[in-house]
Amino acid sequence: MPYRTLDNVDVAGKRALLRADLNVPVRDGRITDLTRLERLCPTISELAGKGAKVIVCSHFDRPKGKRVPAMSLAPVAAALGEVLGTHVAFADDCIGPPAEQAVAALRNGGVLVLENTRYHAEEEKNDPGFAAALAALADLYVNDAFSAAHRAHASTEGVAHLLPAYAGRLMQAELEALHAALGDPQRPVMAIVGGAKVSTKLELLGNLVTKVNTLVIGGAMANTFLAAQGIEVGKSLQEAEMHATARDILAGAKAAGCEILLPTDAVVARELKPNAPTQTVAINAVPADSMILDVGPATVATLNGHIAALRTLVWNGPLGAFETPPFDAATTAVAQAVAAATQAGALRSVAGGGDTVSALRHAGVLDKMSYVSTAGGAFLEWLEGKTLPGVAALSD
């Protein structure tokens, strides 16, 4: 592997600064989803079990360099302790005397959470002095926050150059999954890309057509590609200013030998609301007063036929307006076909992005994919072919 892992690293008695992602969803002061904390447990438990003093640092929300009490990591530290089943100490700052005293009080195998790194404006500026102050607390650095690896901040990139630096087990799992999906995939490989706008996924589409055998374009993005080819899409959401770009992407895919699949039929309605009256029409027969809100059953059958022959699938974005039934039907049907092929051992499936995670959870298949990334922005930038600063800093 091109990055350093925790294999064969002696951490006994050493202070390990662990960059985590403690940016959990909170509503009315309560944490509503513990997934990010649960995914950190293997790395924390391994380090603590080997006798390290584990010092966890993370940002939380956007306090913009000020102490915002509602953005304190204190309640998250308490929740982390409950998930780990052990006492987790908390320091009222991430550098300076409060942090230094809390680290000094740590025993081998102990766990400490430092206060929100973004209480300091220097964090997002990747300030060398701030990175040095963080590094002074530890003997080695472990990054387990792939979700923040696309940002060159002091706690994700700066400190990695000041201490021996390693990928945590969560970071390692994410990188292995992504490498297997796009770096060196088993073929044939297909990507499903959905969502509202072509303009936000230009770099993604441009990179994927050079990497995959088949590219499925769904969601409102597909409307722009259809309209760019002269197909009437009625009142559907689309980007008229992106038509030339869409045609360029189609031409680029053809030159690269990548097959692009667009909807051949659609579920349309006059308005987007739950259980609105719908009709299913061929893609070239969309009524002028209606909008495309999901792909139709013929398109689903085509996609599921492709899935049966695939070895690798990458998924980012739903096929329709899945939050509003019945426009969740196609995404759910395809997700269940992907899950079945994955569970049968025939397919490696890697998915990511906030809407994608929600759609897979809605379809009941979140735990039946090979790997689901919760790292929205970083996952997208990886798919775009970009170098992530937090990963590059761990390279051999």
Among all residues, which ones are annotated catalytic? 36, 197, 354, 377
- Burial environment of residue 340 by CB neighbours within 10 A (0 to 12, 13 to 18, 19 or more): middle
Our measurement of the distance from residue 368's CA atom to the centroid of its chain's CA atoms, rounded to an integer in Å, reads 17
Give the span between the Cα atoms of 65 and 63, in whole angstroms.
6
**Alpha helices of 85-188 — where are they, by DSSP H?**
96-104, 128-135, 169-178
Give the span between the Cα atoms of 318 and 332, in whole angstroms.
9
Q: How far apart are the first and last CA of the chain?
A: 9
Helix 243-256 vs helix 219-228: angle between axes, to the nearest 10 degrees? Answer: 90
Give the span between the Cα atoms of 327 and 293, in whole angstroms.
6
The residue with tokens 């009222």 is 92
Instruction: Please name which of 111, 114, 68, 66 lies closest in space to residue 86, comparing C-alpha atoms.
Output: 111
Instruction: Please name which of 82, 75, 83, 45 lies closest in space to residue 58, comparing C-alpha atoms.
Output: 75
Residue 260, both tokens: 């692009």
**Where are any strands of DSSP class E within the chain?**
15-19, 26-27, 30-31, 53-57, 88-91, 111-114, 140-143, 165-167, 189-193, 214-217, 259-261, 265-269, 279-282, 291-295, 312-316, 348-352, 371-373
Give the span between the Cα atoms of 47 and 17, in whole angstroms.
10
Give the span between the Cα atoms of 264 and 246, in whole angstroms.
17
Instruction: Please name which of 392, 231, 237 lies closest in space to residue 320, comparing C-alpha atoms.
Output: 237
